[in-house]
Chain A
Amino acid sequence: MADLSINFAGIRAPNPFWLASGPLTNTAYQVMKAFDEGWGGAVWKTVGEPIINVSSRLGSLDYGGRRMMGLNNIELISDRPIEENLAEIREVKRRYPHHAVIVSMMFEANPAVWRDMVHRVEDTGADGIELNFGCPHGMSERGMGSVVGQVPEYTERITRYAVEAASIPVIVKLTPNVTDIRAPGRAAVAGGAHALSLINTINSVMGVDLDTWRPIPDVDGRGSHGGYCGPAVKPIALHMLSSLYNDPRVTVPLCGIGGIETWRDAAEFLLLGAGVLQVCTAAMHYGFRIIHELTEGLNDYLDQRGIARVEDLVGQAAPRIGDWNDLRLSYSFQVVARIHADQCIGCNLCYIACDDGAHQCIERVPGETAPRVREEDCVGCNLCSLVCPVPGCIEMVPMEKGPVETWRMRERRLKTAP
């Protein structure tokens, strides 16, 4: 059995799986039920001046017969009175002293308000604070949420209000609705943040009902941009996570959020630098019970690789992601598609993909099932192997083509050339 416990910016938890701030963490009932199922921590539904919600609030992107590959919401922060939330947080912390209870907060940009609220939150015994600078809808139109996260100076300033008042760790939750995540990340660190979490939801419009021309989700015939999350957003989250992890100016631990559904997703986030993981959509879809598969699967993975502690996984793959300029150019290194004819089922998807969408280097051979790659023309883009329905049938074979040279090296060479 591997050791799944973690110490994240001084916050300890029995495992790295926390529920993300959202409808799963609205009440003590839910959070305690989740802890009983095995979740290691929870970030309380963002506490602030109570709001009024609309209905309906959620929209789903279904794909290939499967539900909720992506989820969109126009829900705001907690609609419950602050006192009620704080009383329940206190109760949860009293009953579950060894689980991580983090309180997500969102208030107007007023230092006095922050000082007062941080003290009231700390008084509950909570282990940490998460600043919600991320919600892209509703709150942003009132000067909170993602409008803070999109302007580095605001991020730094409000982070400082909270950090100066707090004696427990302050995590800043970033919005992905920016051009370069490093700007708000660095600003939060400059403001004193003890950790960053990301991503919050992505601005999106889910769709239109083709019969009624009403938007999805539909609030009495009207819609609005909402926050997108779920399995579909994972690649965006992984990009932002790794770029912060690899940024020398971001010196604090990172909490990975966005599209985590299985232990495999979790392992990828850990490898790219997440010290803790938060889950929202997957648990909304299937319930708290998925924690069993998450912990069991992650544990089996660590055991199988002989890794004793989950913390030993954190960031292991991140150094492999960097600038395009540092990748070997194709005259130095490339991969070449090779079709294993014995495994080919004759669907011709690779042929048409290469012919129409790539570089016209797959040929059909009369009388034979398997098409053939003209290897000398193949640029090694991967497309054929991605469309091939048979795993392993199209292999991308690495080829050393010349001395190691990247774009950066090439530029340097050409500049210094006589």
Chain B
Amino acid sequence: MAIPVDQPPQFAEVVPPLTPREAEEEALRCYYCYDAPCIKACPTNIDIPRFIHHIVTGDLKASARTILDANILGATCARICPTEALCEGHCVRTHDSRPVSIGRLQRVAMDYAMTQGVPALPPRPRHGSGRVAIVGAGPAGLGAAAELLRAGYQVEIFDRREEGGGLDTYGIVSYREPVAVSLFEVNMVRQLGAKMHLGETVDAPRIRALQRDFDAVIVAVGLGKVPRLAIPGEDLAGVYDALDFIEATKVGDFGAFPVGERVAVIGAGNTAVDAATCAKRLGASEVTIFYRRGEEAMSAYRYEYEFAKQDGIRYQWWAQPVAILGTQRVNAVRFSRTRVDGPVTSRSAPVQLVEGSEWTVPVDTVIRAVGQEKTLELWSALGCRVADGRVVVDPETYETSVAGIFAVGDCLARPGEATVVQAVEDGKRAARAIDRMLSEKSAR
């Protein structure tokens, strides 16, 4: 099914673009620092002062070129990067005023590229030649592909979905990032020369087969579904996986997951906020996020938390579901009070149920938003070394213990720090390592 790019009004992008005047004023606030801290705080090292300076001089094409040169997903990142933790958090103007709105300025340049055409990117030096297969067309896979293509390699990307973009296309709520933005980026990589094989699931035997046909294989499969809560009643109608739930709103299937009036979201990360605000937009009147720890340990970014509160989402701290009640469809959740042994800010301190504290909350819908499953079976089937629940890679090259297989992006499963921008950077680094490897081969 083709994804409709037009969204109903409540799913339209909430942050408006800067007006030309706002953009000019904001761009002039940049001091154009040398060796700027914002650049270092960006995982992809976008030359931020330079792209902003290009906006000042009215050359949006050069501004877009500067961004895309470092980060092919600049349009997604302009919208969803946790900028206060990254570039803007390190802006020198936090000392004398407020930080420059780098994300929104980046969007000005990226909107230009989306509407007026993508500038040709400066060529990368060509060291070697060869073919690289990439499994997964999400941010990590696209980041690797762009880098390899620009260095002259042939790239084929495989993805089990009908569209590329990974979670940008299927998982980020459209009022933060419209689908069209993600599809635009996929298309940019296609224009750079990537051959896309969409709708193809690649398993371990297939990866081994790809290894025979390609000089290197990059695995960028992200993470899996939301884990089950392992409590009674979980299979009742009306109990949803947050990612499936959000995805339906992205592909325009708004009736797929009816929400009713009262919705309980389990978990307090960014995904929980996205699911909760989606439920509100689908018509639920009372949406509550339940978390088994306190506010101090919540993993959602501050701006996500603020966004949820502005949307009228309620929070219940120290509450863990112990059973989901109902006959055919869920009609209530039974919760127990909790406490932790250890600091309340810790996300790993063991959680204890408080005996006799249980209570029942009537709800029409339960949404699980407690993280994503790891893809360990794939790695063991490939024979890649795994430690601490994640595949082990060389920190410089991203090569797994199986020579010629590289892993990038969320599937490296660094808990709590999964971001699009880091996935892109992983992809770039693996691409550069492959470039070095294959150029040594060509030199021989």
Contact = CB atoms under 8 A, between A and B. Distances in A.
A293 B47 CA distance: 12
A418 interface: no
Contacts of B34: 286-287, 289
A63 B28 CA distance: 13
Nearest to A392: B20
Interface string B367-409: 0000000000000000000000000000000000000000000
Contacts of A290: 53
A263 interface: yes
Contact of A300 (B20, B21, B53, B61): B61
Contacts of B50: 289, 292-293
Nearest to A67: B31
B62 A297 contact: yes
B104 interface: no
A297 B57 contact: yes
A290 B59 CA distance: 14
Contacts of A263: 57, 59
A297 B65 CA distance: 11
Contacts of A293: 50, 53-54, 57, 59, 62
A66 B59 contact: no
Nearest to A301: B59
Contacts of A390: 21
A262 B56 CA distance: 9
Interface in A257-292: 262-264, 286-287, 289-290, 292
Contacts of B65: 296
Interface string B35-67: 000000000000000100110111101100100
A66 B57 contact: no
B53 A264 contact: no
A287 B61 CA distance: 23
Contacts of A306: none
A391 interface: yes
Nearest to B31: A67
Contacts of B56: 262
B254 interface: no
For the residues of A in contact with B, the DSSP-based class is: helix
B117 to A, nearest CB: 11
A258 B65 CA distance: 29
Nearest to A303: B61
Most A CB atoms within 10 A — which of B34, B54, B57, B61? Answer: B57
A249 to B, nearest CB: 36
Interface in B1-52: 20-21, 28, 32, 34, 50
A391 B21 contact: yes
Nearest to A292: B50
Interface string A175-210: 000000000000000000000000000000000000
A117 to B, nearest CB: 37
B62 A300 contact: yes
A66 B24 CA distance: 14
Q: Which of A296, A301, A390 has the most CB of B within 10 A?
A: A296
A264 B62 CA distance: 13
A262 B57 contact: yes
Contacts of B21: 390-391
A57 to B, nearest CB: 22
Nearest to A261: B57
B392 to A, nearest CB: 40
Interface in A296-312: 296-297, 300-301, 304
B28 A296 contact: no
A263 B20 CA distance: 19
A39 B213 CA distance: 46
A264 B28 contact: no
Given A293-B50, A293-B62, A297-B62, A264 B57 contact: yes
Nearest to B59: A297
B32 A286 contact: yes
Interface in A386-416: 390-391
Interface of B: 20-21, 28, 32, 34, 50, 53-54, 56-59, 61-62, 65
Given A296-B54, A296-B65, A297-B54, 7 more contacts: A66-B28, A262-B57, A287-B34, A293-B54, A297-B62, A300-B62, A301-B59
27 contacts: A66-B28, A262-B56, A263-B59, A264-B57, A286-B32, A286-B34, A287-B34, A289-B34, A290-B53, A293-B50, A293-B53, A293-B54, A293-B59, A293-B62, A296-B59, A296-B62, A296-B65, A297-B54, A297-B57, A297-B59, A297-B62, A300-B61, A300-B62, A301-B59, A304-B61, A391-B20, A391-B21
10 tightest A-B CB contacts, nearest first: A262-B57, A297-B59, A296-B62, A300-B61, A300-B59, A300-B62, A293-B53, A297-B57, A286-B32, A287-B34
